[in-house]
């Protein structure tokens, strides 16, 4: 009875295994040691088009595709024999000849410890491959859009580290992608004074409080600052949790600079007209006062028997103030009559050398050590010799005034891409950060004596040359002015 029960249980298990074999949704085939098919299920027929009767007795070579190489089959059987199993993707062939990608699992079949054949289980990967192909196509399309977009595209993880950095980012910053991926965006690209504010914005983004637009300066590899207008969104993982931020930026540095230059030009024109009117109104009375003061001085000189020293001292003070006011009115008039720059090809280093030679005695008297580095070859630049000399004189004399006890003045010129850059560096008192943004405004000055027009004139001259002037300064360490001029590309 017990033996019968054991036999029934065995038959029940065999029936269960046979049913699993027959009705499995995966294609299953059994072969002998030579690869001849001895059994196949319905899923096999459905997948490859061979009926059970057609398949049994055939060799598995009927499934072989030309896209599966002999080397792949060799590795497959080496895996079966050495590890007792092989699983991998291959290309098989349908009865009608079309190819079918499958995930194939091969295991040996044993009886009484002896290997008698193999079992192969094949899962159709056609739909999976189609999905993968579509995903790959979408990925390549997205990457192409990102790389060819004329805007900066960056993505950061929750730690602020870069995970995406497109080609436009490389162009604007000067960094290659491999130099920055995985680095902290805030430490690498933000000026120190902007880090706290931008960090707060990033925190708001990853918390879901999304600023729709934000502008901030970033640092390039060569130390320049560029102003970027950003649009931001969050990145979510499969669980819909925020995993980072994506930012799309437009470099608006040149746009803002142009807006500022247009505004500055309009302001300068208005101020020039006002200055001219004021200067004209003051100059005539000043001439009369000066003439009368001189006549009065002559009159006082006629008093031989009277002590006139005090009167003479007062007159000298009056005349000195008249001369100072006359000089101011002349400077205002020069400002109002600033001629349009006449740009012609010229040798910029030679003009700089001549200007420094003109100032050499003055610099020596004021204990200024001069260092100059000029390139032998720079390229031709179109500039107005008189106006450019005026701009350089203004900047150099400003540098000298910033070193009342003497110091070092360094001037050097470099070629940078299609630009020439003149740097004028002093070791003076420096300019406070709260003031540096105002130094090019007309009439703004930190000097006890001065019109506040010098740097406004410099900026206007450089603007007329299609360039820009930039100031970097640190209190107690000195100031550097950089004049950036376009090279003459027609030469």
363/454 same-domain check: yes
Question: Domain limits at 18?
Answer: 2-129
Domain assignment present for 141: no
What are the pLDDT digits (tens) for 4-37?
A: 577 777 778 878 888 888 888 899 999 999 999 9
Return all residues near 43 (Cβ < 8 A) that are at least 6 apart. 24, 25, 26, 27, 28
Spatial contact of 185 and 156, defined as CB atoms under 8 Å apart:
yes
Q: Domain ends where: 229, 251, 273?
A: 251
Q: Which pLDDT value is given to residue 96?
A: 93
φ, ψ of residue 140 in degrees (nearest 5): -65, -40
- At 214, which helix (H) or strand (E)? strand 214-219
205/242 same-domain check: yes
303/395 same-domain check: no
Alpha-carbon span 312 to 188, nearest angstrom: 66
Q: Which pLDDT value is given to residue 418?
A: 83
246/261 same-domain check: no
356/447 same-domain check: yes
Q: Which pLDDT value is given to residue 1?
A: 47
Give the three-state DSSP class for 151. Answer: coil
Instruction: List b or e across 1-25, with b for residues whose CB sees 16 or more CB atoms inside 10 angstroms.
Output: eeeeeeeeeeeeeeeeeeeebeeee
Length of the chain, in residues: 491
Q: Can you give the CATH number for the domain in which 222 is found?
A: 3.30.450.20
Q: Domain ends where: 336, 369, 391?
A: 336
Domain assignment present for 171: yes
Q: Which pLDDT value is given to residue 120?
A: 93
Domain assignment present for 135: no
Quick one: three-class SS letters along 382-397? EECHHHHHHHHHHHHH
Spatial contact of 281 and 288, defined as CB atoms under 8 Å apart:
no
Q: Which pLDDT value is given to residue 210?
A: 58
157/244 same-domain check: yes
What are the pLDDT digits (tens) for 309-345?
A: 777 788 788 888 777 777 777 666 666 556 677 888 8
Q: Which of 356, 455, 470, 351 is nearest to 410 (CA)?
A: 356
64/87 same-domain check: yes
Q: Can you give the CATH number for the domain in which 276 is found?
A: 1.10.287
Alpha-carbon span 6 to 2, nearest angstrom: 6
Domain assignment present for 138: no
13/58 same-domain check: yes
Quick one: three-class SS letters along 11-41? HHHHHHHHHHHHHCCCEEEEEECCCEEEEEC
Run means of pLDDT, 10 residues per run, the chain, 491 residues: 65 81 89 92 93 93 90 89 90 93 92 91 91 86 81 90 92 92 89 75 69 80 87 84 88 82 68 66 74 78 73 80 74 63 85 90 90 83 89 91 91 88 92 84 71 81 88 90 82 51
Return all residues near 136 (Cβ < 8 A) that are at least 6 apart. none
Domain assignment present for 180: yes
Q: Can you give the CATH number for the domain in which 375 is found?
A: 3.30.565.10
Domain assignment present for 54: yes
Q: Which pLDDT value is given to residue 82?
A: 87
Q: Which pLDDT value is given to residue 449?
A: 63
What separation in angstroms does the CA of 451 have from each of 327, 331, 402, 443? 10, 8, 16, 6
Alpha-carbon span 418 to 487, nearest angstrom: 6
Q: Domain ends where: 227, 251, 275?
A: 251
Q: Which pLDDT value is given to residue 215?
A: 84
243/354 same-domain check: no
360/230 same-domain check: no
Q: Which pLDDT value is given to residue 93?
A: 93
Domain assignment present for 143: no
Domain assignment present for 491: no
403/458 same-domain check: yes
245/266 same-domain check: no
- Number of domains comprising the chain: 4
Q: Which pLDDT value is given to residue 193?
A: 75
């Amino acid at each position: 009875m017990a033996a019968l029960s054991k036999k029934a249980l065995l038959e029940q298990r065999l029936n269960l295994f046979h049913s699993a074999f027959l009705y499995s949704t995966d294609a299953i085939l059994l072969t002998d040691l030579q690869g001849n098919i001895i059994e196949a299920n319905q899923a096999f027929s459905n997948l490859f088009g061979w009926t059970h009767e057609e398949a049994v007795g055939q060799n598995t070579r009927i499934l072989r595709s030309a896209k599966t190489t002999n080397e792949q089959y060799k590795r497959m059987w080496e895996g079966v024999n050495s590890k007792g199993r092989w699983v991998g993707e291959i290309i098989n062939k349908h009865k009608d000849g079309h190819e079918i990608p499958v995930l194939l699992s091969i295991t040996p079949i044993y009886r009484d410890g002896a290997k008698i054949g193999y079992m192969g289980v094949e899962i159709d990967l056609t739909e999976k491959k189609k999905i993968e192909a579509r995903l790959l196509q979408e990925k390549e399309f997205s990457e192409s859009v990102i790389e060819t977009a004329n805007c900066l595209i960056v993505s950061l993880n929750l730690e602020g580290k870069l995970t995406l950095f497109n080609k436009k980012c490389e162009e604007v910053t000067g960094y290659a992608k491999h130099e920055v991926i995985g680095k902290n965006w805030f430490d690498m690209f933000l000026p120190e004074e902007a880090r706290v504010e931008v960090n707060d914005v990033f925190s708001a983004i990853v918390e879901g409080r999304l600023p729709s637009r934000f502008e901030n300066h970033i640092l390039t590899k060569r130390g320049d600052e560029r102003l970027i207008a950003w649009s931001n969104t969050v990145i979510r993982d499969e669980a819909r949790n925020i995993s980072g931020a994506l930012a799309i930026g437009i470099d608006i540095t040149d746009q803002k600079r142009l807006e500022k230059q247009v505004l500055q030009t309009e302001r300068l024109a208005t101020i020039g007209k006002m200055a001219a009117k004021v200067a004209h109104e003051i100059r005539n009375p000043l001439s009369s006062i000066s003439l009368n003061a001189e006549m009065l001085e002559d009159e006082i000189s006629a008093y031989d028997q009277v002590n006139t020293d005090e009167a003479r001292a007062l007159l000298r003070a009056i005349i000195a103030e008249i001369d100072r006011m006359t000089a101011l009115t002349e400077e205002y008039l020069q400002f109002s009559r600033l001629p349009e720059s006449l740009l012609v090809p010229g040798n910029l280093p030679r003009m700089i050398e001549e200007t420094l030679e003109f100032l050499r005695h003055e610099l020596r008297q004021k204990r200024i050590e001069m260092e100059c580095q000029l390139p032998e070859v720079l390229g031709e630049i179109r500039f107005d010799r008189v106006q450019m000399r005026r701009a350089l004189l203004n900047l150099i004399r400003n540098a000298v005034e910033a070193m009342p006890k003497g110091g070092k003045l360094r001037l050097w010129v470099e070629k940078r891409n299609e630009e020439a850059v003149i740097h004028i560096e002093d070791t003076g008192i420096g300019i406070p950060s709260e003031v540096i943004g105002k130094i090019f405004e007309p009439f703004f000055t930190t000097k006890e004596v001065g019109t506040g027009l010098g740097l406004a004139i410099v900026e206007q001259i450089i603007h007329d040359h299609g360039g820009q002037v930039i100031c970097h300064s640190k209190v107690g360490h000195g100031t550097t002015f950089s004049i950036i001029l376009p090279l003459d590309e027609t030469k």
